[in-house]
Amino acid sequence: MIVIGSMIGSGIFIVSADIARTVGSPGYLLLVWLITGIVTIIAALSYGELAGMMPRAGGQYVYLREAYNPLIGFLYGWTLFLVIQTGTIAAVGVAFAKFTSVIIPWFSETHVLIKIGGLSVSASQILAIASILILT
């Protein structure tokens, strides 16, 4: 699930309703998906070209290192490890908890389990944390 969430992104499932409200019609929503799909295909083909030109392990790190300098590649590698991947995994966990709460209302964000002062912990937060721990 985490690999799928990292490749596709949980945003496609969360943001679609907001986009539908913004554009106002299903036809425009499909047009937006088509345009972003084309941009995604162009990006994938670009990465394919880069992989063909530089067939080494490391992906974006290698491309940035070769295009700019080793420091940029190094900084990107650590940013990916400390920020990007952890944020993606957290987003997948939150999305899973949000969609589960639609099916099982007990897991909703309004069901607070612990409240100490201004700090509260909901069943949805516990489910998101548990899904991250189980899947990693």
**Rounded to the nearest 5 degrees, what angle is found at the Cα of 53, between the Cα atoms of 48 and 55?**
85
d(Cα 123, Cα 111) in Å, to the nearest integer? Answer: 6
User: What is the full per-residue pLDDT of the chain (136 aa) written as tens digits?
Assistant: 445 545 566 677 777 778 888 898 889 989 988 998 899 899 889 988 988 988 888 888 899 998 899 999 999 999 988 888 888 888 888 888 988 998 999 988 888 888 898 889 999 999 999 998 987 7
- What lies within 8 Å, CB to CB, of 127 at 6+ separation is 96, 97, 100, 101, 107
Give the max Cα distance, the chain: 57
Distance separating the N- and C-terminal Cα atoms of the chain: 10
